């Protein structure tokens, strides 16, 4: 475990969406977590479990008309950014906390030269001259491993490959040396070889800049290789949090165990000499506005008992150091 | 890889298509005529230079009208007004349409609703009759005519810009800009509008032709500025003599036709040059 003081500390975060005029339902519910400098926290879970909602909540990027930050604090180096105004929040976005999006094809402006797009972010936050911003954007492109950065800076996104574009997106995110980088499935749209390069790049820059990284993914292989800690989310709640070694040696929440069991394993096929069917988790994530009083995973859980349907499990620290929200986690399966 | 020298300029792209080349040639002729009107005809369009009802291609290139005024001089001076009205009215329409459409499309919500109700109000007015009423009430001066044309024509452009801005705003790079802390105005002006520009340019170029037709129509009906020689006025004045002196209406009519045709051809060529996907 990283003993240093966390750079980002989120306490009891609850984000709600509007259901009708007066009623709201939570999409992120009572989530606590923290990230330290130089550390990567992976957030995993299926589609629709609230990972991206959580990321957008941190930056308050959700549309104000239909969503609200209902409760909780977001401490960024001793400052509670959950309480900031939109104007103050703008100064935080891209400067203190940056985000890398999933699709490098669409997250760049097609009509602006890539060097200019990096420079825009620098000018926005540091108000330096255009020449200075241009010089720095070329240096950033060099930092993220783009060959001939001065030439590439004058090119448009369509002239670059997917991997190069994602490097540009990362360069934009890192332009003002953020304290926290949120990478929302940064490699999902890239092929496997490029994926490793991009993740290695993020890992290297994390140490160089000394930032904390929140890596949102559903690829447990990526988690095992690049993260120090894992947080599993289900239906807007944190269900398990542990460091990577503890997590992969035996996840305690039935959902985490099921996620891990559903990872394709080529060796199992080869060793057994026959193709084994992939384990799947039956059912889907329940709609967030139709959650019952009990554990939201109960109806898909192999180990659910009557109590699971009636009572919401709280996060508890287990003997191996993992924090798990399951009423039956202490029992032996 | 495209280098700067190999990248064809917009002008070259337009000229490379037959429609664009013809349109450009015609429009250039009209512009030169307008620029050199006072050199070619220093006496002005209202001066009686010879006998009335002289047929064209004789002593005077385009003949004279019932007061002995040189029709060629009228065409040259009228070109100035047509181009001026077309350009200024379009500028006003594009500014108004882009501001209203851009804000409505970007912010959505009640701003959008309000802006769209206002544009609907303007769209329900029959355009030409609306322009006639405005000029009739405010008086036939050139600024009023330009204003009237702009007032009745800006709404469709505003709706077009709004739709385009909405679609660009939904793209991920706008969200990426928001996540970088850029302000709304900066995103709208620096990031979104350039993506909408080609639509505005094409719609605006066709708007020039419409504005010229409107001005000609108003002048024809006698709602033009009486101190200015325009093509529409010449057609209107020559109407009574159409059976004895056909050239008095035909020649300014052809001038209007060719100018509008030229601008439409350029608009089509622009559309093709700026939007490669529209090519069949």
Q: Is residue B260 part of a domain?
A: yes
Q: Is residue B62 part of a domain?
A: yes
Q: Are residues A261 and A120 in the same domain?
A: no
Q: Are residues A140 and A81 in the same domain?
A: no
Q: Is residue A38 part of a domain?
A: yes
Q: What's the burial of A129, exposed, middle or buried (CB within 10 Å: 0-12/13-18/19+)?
A: exposed
Residues in chain A: 333
How far A99 CA sits from the closest chain B CA (Å)? Answer: 6
Number of separate domains in chain B: 1
Q: Is residue B21 part of a domain?
A: no
- CB contact under 8 Å between A93 and B171, yes or no, is no
Specify whether the CB–CB gap between A310 and A295 falls below 8 A. no
Which residue in chain A is spatially nearest to B198 when comparing CA positions?
A111
Q: Give tens-digit pLDDT for B133-183.
A: 999 999 999 999 999 999 999 999 999 999 999 999 999 899 999 999 899
- CB contact under 8 Å between A61 and B109, yes or no, is no
For residue A242, give the CATH number of its domain: 3.40.50.300
**pLDDT at res. B166:** 95
Instruction: Tell me how far apart the alpha carbons of residues B199 and B158 are, in angstroms, rounded to a whole number.
Output: 12
**Among positive and negative, which fits the CA dihedral B240, B246, B250, B252?**
negative
- CB contact under 8 Å between B176 and A159, yes or no, is no
Q: Are residues A227 and A262 in the same domain?
A: yes
Q: Are residues A160 and A205 in the same domain?
A: no
Q: Is residue A302 part of a domain?
A: no
Q: Tell me the pLDDT of chain B averaged across its residues.
A: 90
- CB contact under 8 Å between B175 and A125, yes or no, is no
Q: Is residue A300 part of a domain?
A: no
Q: Are residues A144 and A125 in the same domain?
A: yes
Q: Is residue B240 part of a domain?
A: yes
**pLDDT at res. A268:** 59
Closest CA to A51 of A185, A222, A198: A185
Range A46-67 average pLDDT: 88
Q: Give tens-digit pLDDT for B174-196.
A: 999 999 989 999 999 999 999 99
Q: Are residues A14 and A39 in the same domain?
A: yes
pLDDT confidence band for B2 (50 / 70 / 90): very low
Instruction: Tell me how far apart the alpha carbons of residues A59 and A178 are, in angstroms, rounded to a whole number.
Output: 13
For residues A268 and A280, the model is more confident at A280
**With an 8 Å Cβ cutoff, is A92 touching chain B?**
yes
Interface of B with A (CB under 8 A): 1-2, 109, 171-173, 175-183, 186, 190-191, 194-195
Q: Are residues A49 and A34 in the same domain?
A: yes
Instruction: Tell me how far apart the alpha carbons of residues A152 and A148 are, in angstroms, rounded to a whole number.
Output: 6
Residues 6+ apart with CB under 8 A from B88: B146
Range A196-219 average pLDDT: 90
Which residue in chain A is spatially nearest to B1 when comparing CA positions?
A159
**pLDDT at res. A301:** 85
pLDDT exceeds cutoff 70 at A307: yes
Q: Is residue A330 part of a domain?
A: no
pLDDT exceeds cutoff 50 at B5: no
Name residues 299-328 of chain A within 8 A of B (Cβ): none
Look up tokens 């609230």; give the residue: A50
Q: Is residue A282 part of a domain?
A: yes
Which residues in chain B have their CB less than 8 angstroms from residue A177's CB? none
pLDDT exceeds cutoff 80 at B60: yes
Range A33-46 average pLDDT: 93
Number of separate domains in chain A: 2
For the entire predicted model, the pTM comes to 0.83
Which residues in chain A have their CB less than 8 angstroms from residue B178's CB? 61, 93
pLDDT exceeds cutoff 60 at A22: yes
Residues 6+ apart with CB under 8 A from A287: none
Of A109-113, A152-156, A191-195, A215-219, which gets the smallest average pLDDT? A191-195
Q: Which one-letter DSSP state was computed for residue B243? A: T
Q: Calculate the CA dihedral of residues B150, B190, A90, A150 and round it to 10 degrees.
A: 180
pLDDT confidence band for A1 (50 / 70 / 90): very low
Which residues in chain A have their CB less than 8 angstroms from residue B186's CB? 124
Q: Is residue B8 part of a domain?
A: no
pLDDT exceeds cutoff 60 at A166: yes
pLDDT exceeds cutoff 60 at B119: yes
Q: Are residues A145 and A192 in the same domain?
A: no
What are the two backbone dihedrals, phi and then psi, of residue A212, each rounded to the nearest 5 degrees? -95, 145
Minimal Cβ distance to A90: which of B1, B175, B183: B183
Interhelix angle B71-107/B109-124, nearest 10 degrees = 150
pLDDT exceeds cutoff 90 at A139: yes
Q: Are residues A184 and A89 in the same domain?
A: yes
How far CA B146 is from CA of B30, B150, B218, in Å, comes to 20, 6, 11
Range B29-34 average pLDDT: 95
Specify whether the CB–CB gap between A153 and A134 falls below 8 A. yes
- CB contact under 8 Å between B172 and A101, yes or no, is yes
Name residues 49-78 of chain A within 8 A of B (Cβ): 59, 61, 65
| Pick among A81, A84, A107 to test the B interface (most B CBs inside 10 A) | A107
Beta strand pairing call for A237-243 and A323-324: antiparallel
Instruction: Tell me how far apart the alpha carbons of residues B221 and B132 are, in angstroms, rounded to a whole number.
Output: 9
Specify whether the CB–CB gap between B238 and B228 falls below 8 A. no
Q: Give tens-digit pLDDT for B80-114.
A: 999 999 999 999 999 999 999 999 999 999 999 99
Q: Is residue B1 part of a domain?
A: no
Q: Is residue A319 part of a domain?
A: no
Q: Are residues A76 and A200 in the same domain?
A: yes
Minimal Cβ distance to B181: which of A92, A106, A108: A92
Minimal Cβ distance to B172: which of A89, A106, A111: A106
- Picking from A172, A187, A215, the residue at the C-terminal end of a domain is A172
What are the two backbone dihedrals, phi and then psi, of residue A97, each rounded to the nearest 5 degrees? -125, 125
Instruction: Tell me how far apart the alpha carbons of residues A320 and A323 are, in angstroms, rounded to a whole number.
Output: 9
Q: Are residues A129 and A28 in the same domain?
A: no
pLDDT confidence band for A8 (50 / 70 / 90): very high
pLDDT confidence band for B52 (50 / 70 / 90): confident
Q: Is residue B10 part of a domain?
A: no
User: What is the extent of the structural domain holding A139?
Assistant: 110-172
Q: Tell me the pLDDT of chain A averaged across its residues.
A: 87
Sheet holding A237-243, edge to edge: A97-100, A180-184, A212-216, A40-44, A229-234, A237-243, A323-324, A316-317
**pLDDT at res. A333:** 44
For residue B58, give the CATH number of its domain: 1.10.3720.10
Q: Give tens-digit pLDDT for A211-264.
A: 999 999 988 989 999 999 999 999 999 999 999 999 998 888 989 988 888 887
Range A51-60 average pLDDT: 91
**pLDDT at res. A2:** 44
How far B71 CA sits from the closest chain A CA (Å)? Answer: 49
- CB contact under 8 Å between A108 and B176, yes or no, is yes
Q: Is residue B129 part of a domain?
A: yes
User: What is the extent of the structural domain holding B58?
Assistant: 26-278
């Amino acid at each position: 475990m990283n003993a240093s003081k966390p750079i980002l500390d989120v306490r009891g975060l609850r984000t709600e969406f509007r259901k009708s005029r007066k009623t709201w339902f939570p999409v992120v519910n009572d989530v606590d977590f923290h990230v330290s400098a130089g550390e990567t926290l992976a957030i995993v879970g299926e589609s629709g479990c609230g990972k991206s909602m959580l990321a957008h909540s941190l930056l308050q990027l959700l549309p104000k008309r239909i969503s609200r930050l209902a409760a909780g604090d977001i401490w960024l180096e001793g400052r509670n950014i959950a309480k900031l105004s939109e104007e103050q929040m703008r100064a935080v976005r891209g400067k203190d906390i940056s985000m890398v999006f999933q699709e490098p094809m669409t997250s760049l402006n097609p009509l602006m030269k890539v060097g200019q797009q990096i420079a825009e972010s620098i000018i926005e936050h540091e108000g330096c001259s255009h020449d200075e911003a241009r010089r720095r954007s070329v240096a950033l492109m060099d930092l993220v491993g783009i060959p001939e950065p001065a030439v590439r800076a004058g090119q448009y996104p369509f002239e670059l490959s997917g991997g190069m574009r994602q490097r540009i997106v990362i360069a934009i995110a890192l332009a003002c040396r953020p304290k926290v980088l949120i990478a929302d499935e940064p490699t999902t749209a890239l092929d496997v070889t490029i994926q490793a390069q991009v993740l290695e790049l993020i890992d290297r820059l994390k140490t160089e800049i000394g930032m904390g990284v929140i890596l949102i993914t559903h690829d447990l292989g990526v988690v095992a290789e690049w993260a120090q800690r894992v947080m599993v989310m289900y239906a807007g709640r944190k269900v398990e949090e542990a460091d990577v070694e503890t997590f992969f040696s035996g996840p305690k929440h039935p959902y985490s165990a099921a996620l891990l069991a559903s990872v394709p394993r080529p060796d199992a096929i080869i060793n057994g000499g026959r193709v084994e069917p992939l384990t799947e988790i039956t059912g889907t994530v329940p709609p967030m506005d139709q959650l019952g009083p009990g554990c939201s995973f109960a109806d898909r859980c192999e180990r659910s008992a009557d109590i699971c349907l009636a009572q919401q499990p709280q996060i508890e620290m287990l003997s191996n150091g993992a924090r798990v929200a399951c009423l039956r986690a202490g029992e032996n399966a | 890889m495209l280098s700067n020298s190999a990248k064809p300029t917009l002008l070259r792209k337009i000229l490379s298509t037959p429609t664009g080349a013809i349109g450009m040639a015609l429009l250039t002729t009209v512009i030169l005529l307008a620029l050199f009107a006072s050199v070619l005809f220093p006496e002005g369009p209202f001066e009686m230079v010879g006998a009335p009802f002289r047929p064209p291609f004789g002593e005077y290139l385009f003949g004279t009208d019932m007061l002995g005024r040189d029709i060629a001089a009228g065409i040259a001076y009228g070109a100035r007004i047509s181009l001026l009205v077309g350009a200024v009215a379009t500028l006003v329409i594009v500014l108004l349409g882009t501001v209203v459409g851009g804000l409505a499309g970007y912010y959505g919500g009640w701003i959008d609703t309000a802006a769209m109700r206002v544009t609907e109000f303007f769209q329900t007015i029959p355009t030409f009759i609306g322009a006639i009423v405005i000029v009739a009430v405010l008086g036939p001066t050139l600024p009023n005519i330009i204003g009237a044309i702009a007032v009745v024509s800006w709404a469709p452009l505003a709706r077009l810009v709004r739709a385009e801005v909405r679609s660009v705003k939904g793209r991920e790079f706008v969200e990426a800009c928001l996540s970088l802390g850029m302000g709304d105005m900066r995103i709208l002006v620096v990031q979104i509008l350039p993506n909408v520009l080609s639509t505005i340019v094409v719609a605006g170029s066709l708007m020039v032709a419409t504005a010229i037709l409107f001005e000609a129509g108003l002048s024809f009906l006698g709602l033009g500025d009486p101190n200015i020689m325009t093509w529409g006025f010449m057609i209107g004045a020559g109407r009574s003599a159409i059976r004895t002196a056909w050239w008095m209406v035909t020649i300014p009519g052809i001038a209007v036709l060719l100018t509008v045709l030229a601008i439409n051809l350029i608009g089509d060529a622009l559309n093709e040059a700026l939007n490669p996907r529209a090519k069949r």
